[in-house]
A and B are shown apart, each in its own frame.
Chain A
Amino acid sequence: MRNAYFAVVLKKEILDMLRDRRALITNLVLPLVLYPVMFLFMGSAVNSLVTDAEQNTRLAVTAGTALYDVLSETEGLHIASAADPVAELDAGRADVALNVLSEGDGKYSAEIIFDDTKSASTMSAQYVISLLDAYNQSAVNEKLAEMGISIAQLSPVAITQKTLNAAAGREEASGAGIMLSMMLPMLVVIFLAVGGLATAGDLFAGEKERRTMEPLLCTRAGRGSILGAKFTAVTLYSLLSVVATFAGILLGNIINPDAMGMGIDTDALGDFTIPPLSLLLTVILIAVMAMVFSGLHVAVSTYSRTVKEAATYGTFFMLVAYIPVFSTMFMQAGDIKAWMMFVPMLNVVGAMKMVLGGVSDIPFFLGCIASSLVFLALVLALTRALFRKESVMLRTV
């Protein structure tokens, strides 16, 4: 491979990619616009559901019952008595129905009926249950106080929960870190896979399809230089699409910080900062995965005769690569086993979970990077062999 030819091919491929408006819009512009818009709507939709339930719940209660009086003083609750509360719910005049079955001597038996096909009804039911739970708790407290008994006396075993990290005096994994370790590897794999697919198809199978490959192979640039430069271009583009995706997510998070928590109190997730070393490791792991994916896409595209064929085969490999991601989605950093570091894709996903979950295990990371590089070398050796095979390179429709 000669550096001069490598640079010429790489420069041309980058220029060509930057002029591909459709690919630029899909892979770079769309994430930058789509995520902020999505976050804006997602956050406000969840927030409005919660707010609506707390301020505008329409509750139908069995007429003439004492429970109606108990709840009628609650602020924000639009309560109405009805002979048949379920009919009110069915007619859409109420969000939740409280059907009082029996009452007397300060005791009530009631059932809450809600429409599980409507989000507003489900959220309102949760809200009414929380009101009734609070009422129950205060009634119990009052009774116990009258009898001179404390709650602690009624609970023989007092339990407090602690994580191992807290018990050992180590820094605890934050809730946000755990959430990120579930989401980030998945997003990285999806966007790396999608980002490089079209580009690799265009750069190899596309060259064959539009008959530019033959003149290219007749130039003085060796096949190693051409392959190396094109592989680098695909990797760069994949990484760029991941950067655009994260930039879009970050922008969305700045516009609406509550959206990531889906309406949950994000303060409860705890403070989360990535230490510089972990950040560096994450970047290295993403780069390694980008190279592995690009290598696969390049191999598939080299073998294919047309862009369409490359997209079909590439999609199959993409779906296979999703298996380790989705199968480990709910795994925590501590669940990652040593053998996983030697399975392509699974190793990077696992290592990223460890980094984000605050688990630093240098031998694991080194094993992951080494096995990824070995896998990459095998894929590139296969591609190189395909690139030199006449029957593959001159295969056209």
Chain B
Amino acid sequence: MLELKALTKRFPVTGKHRKQTGQTSLTAVDGLSLQVSGGRIYGLLGANGAGKTTTLRMVATMLTPSEGTATVDGCDIITRADEVRRKTGLLFGGDVGLYDRLTAYENIQYFARLNDVPDEVSSARIHELAEQFRFTEHLQKAAGKLSKGTRQKVSFARAIIHDPQLMLFDEPTLGLDVTAKKEAEDFILHCRDKGKTIVLSDHTLSVVERLCDRIGILGKGKLLGEGTIDELTRQHECKSLEEVFFKLAEENAAL
């Protein structure tokens, strides 16, 4: 479903930082290659600055790779970006961006229209998603008046209103309370059960452990290790994912 082929992203270094370090570019993602099968949840695990978000942004066609490429369901992210967008939904966690003066319904419908979903289809789907996420009573309220948890639910609905095959979730439970976190996790599992492919980026080990079928550990833009939790612990002779993570991080830092 998703294949990354030596995906690389370098950002130019300018100004003071360039003068101080002499660096002309910063490699955020360094020759990343991996495959994610359909109907699976793939976890991208890494510390801040490991290249998780940059990878997701490239797959979502927001950033152009410096080298390498990726395909979503056989569509190249560079040459067939429009089709990739149709097949992909992206969600960022944390401080969720919604249009505060539009209602929850209008926020979702706006993105449905921008993804070519006819109004009659999107209307039924919005109500279906609202019921599923339990925010039906908030549909006609201005987004600016919604709680953080409800805003996150609305943004979930917005990200998948066009029923994408690939869902990219960047720290989707960040800042949510326990109940909202549980609902978000249940929803991700529900999407997987419906055959969706999910790439979940997070630096919370417990979230990744609970949800992901396979895990890729990133460090300084490189894939340091990959596999199921069992495979990773066996390969690196560790007792837990946490141990594997810190072992790989230490090895990577020493390089």
A381 CB to closest chain B CB, in angstroms? 20
Cβ of B22 under 8 Å from chain A: no
A215 touches B12 (CB 8 A): no
Cβ of A210 under 8 Å from chain B: yes
B12 touches A391 (CB 8 A): yes
Chain A residues whose C-beta falls within 8 Å of the C-beta of B82 in the assembled complex = 220
Cβ of A373 under 8 Å from chain B: no
- Expressed in whole angstroms, the Cα–Cα distance for A196 and B11 within the complex equals 33
A218 touches B102 (CB 8 A): no
Which partner residue on chain A sits nearest B116 by CB separation?
A220
B102 touches A215 (CB 8 A): no
Chain A residues whose C-beta falls within 8 Å of the C-beta of B64 in the assembled complex = 390
B14 CB to closest chain A CB, in angstroms? 9
CB contact under 8 A between A219 and B111, given known A12-B102, A391-B11: yes
Which partner residue on chain B sits nearest A19 by CB separation?
B101
A218 touches B61 (CB 8 A): yes
Task: Kindly state the interface size class of chain A when it binds its partner.
Answer: 20 to 34
- Tally of contact residues, B, Cβ under 8 A: 32
A211 touches B97 (CB 8 A): yes
CB contact under 8 A between A218 and B97, given known A8-B110, A8-B114, A9-B114: no
- Expressed in whole angstroms, the Cα–Cα distance for A215 and B90 within the complex equals 7
Which partner residue on chain A sits nearest B82 by CB separation?
A220
Interface residues of B in 113-169 (CB under 8 A from A): 113-116, 155, 158-159
Cβ of A394 under 8 Å from chain B: yes
| Residue with the highest number of chain A CB atoms closer than 10 Å, among B61, B110, B155, B159 | B110
CB contact under 8 A between A390 and B63, given known A12-B102, A215-B111: yes
A179 CB to closest chain B CB, in angstroms? 41
Candidates A212, A217, A221, A394; contact of B99 at CB < 8 Å = A212
Name the prevailing secondary structure of the A interface residues: helix
A139 CB to closest chain B CB, in angstroms? 74
B57 CB to closest chain A CB, in angstroms? 7
A175 CB to closest chain B CB, in angstroms? 47
- Expressed in whole angstroms, the Cα–Cα distance for A210 and B115 within the complex equals 21
Candidates B61, B96, B158; contact of A211 at CB < 8 Å = B96
Which partner residue on chain B sits nearest A393 by CB separation?
B62
B199 CB to closest chain A CB, in angstroms? 14
Which partner residue on chain A sits nearest B107 by CB separation?
A212
Candidates B88, B102, B106, B114; contact of A5 at CB < 8 Å = B114
Contact pattern, A 200-213, Cβ under 8 Å of B = 1, otherwise 0: 00000001001111
B62 touches A217 (CB 8 A): yes
Cβ of B5 under 8 Å from chain A: no
A218 touches B88 (CB 8 A): yes
Cβ of B85 under 8 Å from chain A: yes
Cβ of B98 under 8 Å from chain A: yes
Cβ of B60 under 8 Å from chain A: yes
Chain B residues whose C-beta falls within 8 Å of the C-beta of A220 in the assembled complex = 82, 85-86, 114-116
| Residue with the highest number of chain B CB atoms closer than 10 Å, among A8, A207, A213, A391 | A8
Which partner residue on chain B sits nearest A216 by CB separation?
B114
Chain B residues whose C-beta falls within 8 Å of the C-beta of A12 in the assembled complex = 99, 102, 106, 110
Chain A residues whose C-beta falls within 8 Å of the C-beta of B85 in the assembled complex = 218-220
| Residue with the highest number of chain A CB atoms closer than 10 Å, among B57, B97, B116, B158 | B97
- Expressed in whole angstroms, the Cα–Cα distance for A19 and B60 within the complex equals 31
Chain B residues whose C-beta falls within 8 Å of the C-beta of A19 in the assembled complex = 101-102
B113 touches A218 (CB 8 A): no
A228 CB to closest chain B CB, in angstroms? 14
| Residue with the highest number of chain B CB atoms closer than 10 Å, among A15, A20, A215 | A215
B102 touches A15 (CB 8 A): yes
Interface residues of B in 28-75 (CB under 8 A from A): 57, 60-64
B62 touches A214 (CB 8 A): yes
B79 CB to closest chain A CB, in angstroms? 15
- Expressed in whole angstroms, the Cα–Cα distance for A218 and B111 within the complex equals 10
A214 touches B115 (CB 8 A): no
Cβ of B186 under 8 Å from chain A: no
B99 CB to closest chain A CB, in angstroms? 6
Rank and list the top 7 A-B pairs by shortest CB-CB distance, nearest first.
Answer: A211-B97, A219-B114, A212-B97, A19-B101, A8-B113, A221-B114, A210-B97
Interface residues of A (CB under 8 A from B): 5, 8-9, 12, 15-16, 19-20, 207, 210-221, 390-391, 394
Interface CB pairs A-B, < 8 A, 5: A16-B99, A16-B102, A217-B62, A218-B88, A220-B85
Interface residues of B (CB under 8 A from A): 11-12, 57, 60-64, 82, 85-86, 88, 90, 92, 95-102, 106, 110-111, 113-116, 155, 158-159
